[in-house]
Structure 1
Amino acid sequence: MTQITLSKTNCYYLENENGNMLIDTGYAYDKDLFLRQMGDAGISIGDIRYLLLTHHHDDHSGLVSFLAKENPDLVVIMHALCAHLVSKGYNAKEYGGRWCSKSMQTLTSVYKKFDKNWTLTFPPYFAGPHDLLLDFSRGSVPFLDYTIIPTPGHTPDSISLLSNDGSLFIGDAAANFLQFAGTHYAPPFITDTSRFYATWKELLTLPIDRIYPAHGKSFSPDKLKKHLYSLKESKMPLFTGD
């Protein structure tokens, strides 16, 4: 496994004899950093057979269109809802939800005034006939040496990847950053708190050895158990996407 650490997003490159996989891409403006880190690791865009999107947000799908153009054989794997949302080219606001804490709401409000690149938009991607769109009507999906798991809560289209060695690539279904802001291993906002914690409960029944988030360092699944239900909706400000 090779970690590609971008401006705010961890992407992961997994080698597999049946086709190498990249998990997420970072922001569109991360392109130069992405290419530099890939080059430093000896990885070319043509080496990527599969690209798994954990969900449609700009910090995860910003480079999908670029990579698909550079590598016509690339197969994008994503939730069927993600395919719809990523074609719009912006982070969906219609699902609402809540900030994980008042502190996070304040930090985000201040930050967006200084980072002019943070527009919540990205080049849209339109799924092709060779892409793999998942509906999870029968539960988790086996794929190569992995299992793709629906992990909704942060967004309704969130998915994660569990490898046979117990490594879970969780996207934003959990996070390990800004703990001082009261995140409790959650991402900055959650569209559905009950589904979010139902996801954690389900994950705790699986043979997970280590969790690799899109934001922050890897951590033990014990952190999910310890912080299960730590966030209280009564203290979580409503999220409107503004």
Structure 2
Amino acid sequence: MTLHGIHVIDTGFVRPRFDAAYLIVHDGGGAFIDCGTNHSVPRLLEALGDAGMDASQVDWLILTHVHLDHAGGAGELMAHLPNARLVVHPRGARHMIDPSQLWAGAMAVYGEDVMEKAYGRLRPVSAERVVEAPDGHIVDLRGRRLRCLDTPGHARHHLAVYDEQANVCFTGDTFGLSYREFDTAQGLFILPTTTPVQFDPEALHASIERLLALKPEAMYLTHFGRVENVERLAGKLHEMIDAMVAIALEAEDSPGRHAQLVLALTGLYATRTAEHGWHGNRDELMHWLGTDIELNAQGLGVWLDRGRKA
């Protein structure tokens, strides 16, 4: 379903309905928001064709942040968009111009074989095509104002995009994760992401409230899709952030801290999904959330090691 000229694109990363990019079409022009990986680029170009557009009509690629599931394919996509400029938080711009540090950091975690298979080799973007977007920066899509908002908490280089015409926000990872596999009669299930390495609970609480204050009709999450009833979801996010912080603090001095964090987060999500009316078993929970549990535990550990600072 396309609303307000906004097209949801499944990038194909990891599994169906896991990782989204967006195409906004307005007055003959287009703007992508996030782009997935190199392997996602054919899907984004196909979405352009489905929208009746060609690559020359795309004016902008806007990145919410430079984590590779959001921005890994930026250089490859920009090579196909002759007239587009790339918009990114000032803290992230250098990583788009020279992605070697991004690659090295991720390769240290995953290894070169996994990196090549999951993301593809990162391609730089020419500096003259990169636009830094400080807080409040307006991207003009042929008269349609897309306002960039500094929204730290998940990452210090994170921005959200407020589409003033549609009254919706593109939230990257600031407004959490909501997988369709957990939808029930009670609605959508949502949880925060504390992926390493810049989790900051106070900043994340504040960023969620900042987005909520806009009174948007909906949020567009990278993971995954359009979500409505945003006040209820924001309340759930706040509760879960506090619960996850409490788990981290309880495990802080444990000799087996990471294992304790993984176990406690698994228990927390099992309890909350059951309360939400989801009837899957523990194996199914781990199938859908196992990677998130591992990354969230790592991120909480980094936060503790940094003295509970971002």
Report the more deviating stretch, 81-90 or 199-208.
81-90
Alignment partner, residue 152 of structure 1: 152
How far apart are residue 146 of structure 1 and its match?
2.3
Decide whether the 8 Å contact of 2:8 with 2:20 is kept in 1. yes
Decide whether the 8 Å contact of 2:39 with 2:120 is kept in 1. no
Higher relative contact order (CA 8 A, sep 6+): 1
Task: Quote the Cα distance in structure 2 between the aligned partners of 1:176 and 1:48.
Answer: 28
Letter in 1 for 2:298: L
Decide whether the 8 Å contact of 1:58 with 1:121 is kept in 2. no
Alignment partner, residue 43 of structure 1: 53
TM-score (norm 1): 0.76
Q: CA 1:211–1:153 in structure 2 vs 1: closer, same or farther (change >3 Å)?
A: same
Decide whether the 8 Å contact of 2:192 with 2:240 is kept in 1. no
| Residue 125 (structure 1) aligned with residue 125 (structure 2) | yes
Look up the SS of the partner of 1:230 in the other structure.
Answer: helix
Look up the SS of the partner of 2:160 in the other structure.
Answer: strand
Alignment partner, residue 13 of structure 1: 23
Q: For this pair of structures, how many residues does the alignment match?
A: 220
Higher helix share: 2
Alignment partner, residue 88 of structure 1: 99
Alignment partner, residue 265 of structure 2: none
How far apart are residue 214 of structure 1 and its match?
0.8
Equivalent of 2:220, from 208, 212, 219?
212
Q: Aligned runs of 1:132-151 on 2, under 5 Å? A: 132-136=131-135, 140-144=136-140, 145-151=145-151
Segments of structure 2 that go 5 or more residues without pairing to the other structure are 1-5, 14-18, 183-188, 249-260, 262-295, 303-310
Q: CA 1:11–1:71 in structure 2 vs 1: closer, same or farther (change >3 Å)?
A: same
Q: Which has the larger radius of gyration?
A: 2
How far apart are residue 133 of structure 1 and its match?
0.5
Look up the SS of the partner of 1:117 in the other structure.
Answer: helix
Equivalent of 1:28, from 38, 58, 61?
38
Alignment partner, residue 168 of structure 1: 169
For residues 71-95 of structure 1, what are the alpha-carbon distances to aligned partners after superposition, in whole Å with 9 as ceiling and x for unaligned?
Answer: 332111111111112322426859x
Letter in 2 for 1:45: A
Alignment partner, residue 193 of structure 1: 200
TM-score (norm 2): 0.61
Letter in 2 for 1:198: A
For residues 59-110 of structure 1, what are the alpha-carbon distances to aligned partners after superposition, in whole Å with 9 as ceiling and x for unaligned?
Answer: 222332223223332111111111112322426859xxxxxxxxxxxxxx9x
Alignment partner, residue 102 of structure 1: none
Task: Quote the Cα distance in structure 2 between the aligned partners of 1:131 and 1:213.
Answer: 23
Letter in 2 for 1:5: D
Task: Quote the Cα distance in structure 1 between the aligned partners of 2:86 and 2:212.
Answer: 27
Task: Quote the Cα distance in structure 1 between the aligned partners of 2:104 and 2:115.
Answer: 20
Q: CA 1:185–1:178 in structure 2 vs 1: closer, same or farther (change >3 Å)?
A: farther
Look up the SS of the partner of 1:196 in the other structure.
Answer: helix
Alignment partner, residue 98 of structure 1: none
Look up the SS of the partner of 1:11 in the other structure.
Answer: strand
Task: Quote the Cα distance in structure 2 between the aligned partners of 1:35 and 1:7.
Answer: 13
For residues 39-72 of structure 1, what are the alpha-carbon distances to aligned partners after superposition, in whole Å with 9 as ceiling and x for unaligned?
Answer: 2332321121111011112222233222322333
Task: Quote the Cα distance in structure 1 between the aligned partners of 2:51 and 2:26.
Answer: 16
Letter in 2 for 1:161: V
Decide whether the 8 Å contact of 1:61 with 1:122 is kept in 2. no
Letter in 2 for 1:166: N
How far apart are residue 179 of structure 1 and its match?
7.9
How far apart are residue 121 of structure 1 and its match?
6.0
Look up the SS of the partner of 1:238 in the other structure.
Answer: helix
Report the more deviating stretch, 85-94 or 23-32.
85-94
Look up the SS of the partner of 2:47 in the other structure.
Answer: helix
For residues 183-236 of structure 1, what are the alpha-carbon distances to aligned partners after superposition, in whole Å with 9 as ceiling and x for unaligned?
Answer: 943236252232222211222211211001111132121201232141322256
Task: Quote the Cα distance in structure 1 between the aligned partners of 2:194 and 2:115.
Answer: 17
Look up the SS of the partner of 1:215 in the other structure.
Answer: coil
Identity %: 19
Runs of 4+ off more than 3 Å:
91-94, 113-116, 238-241
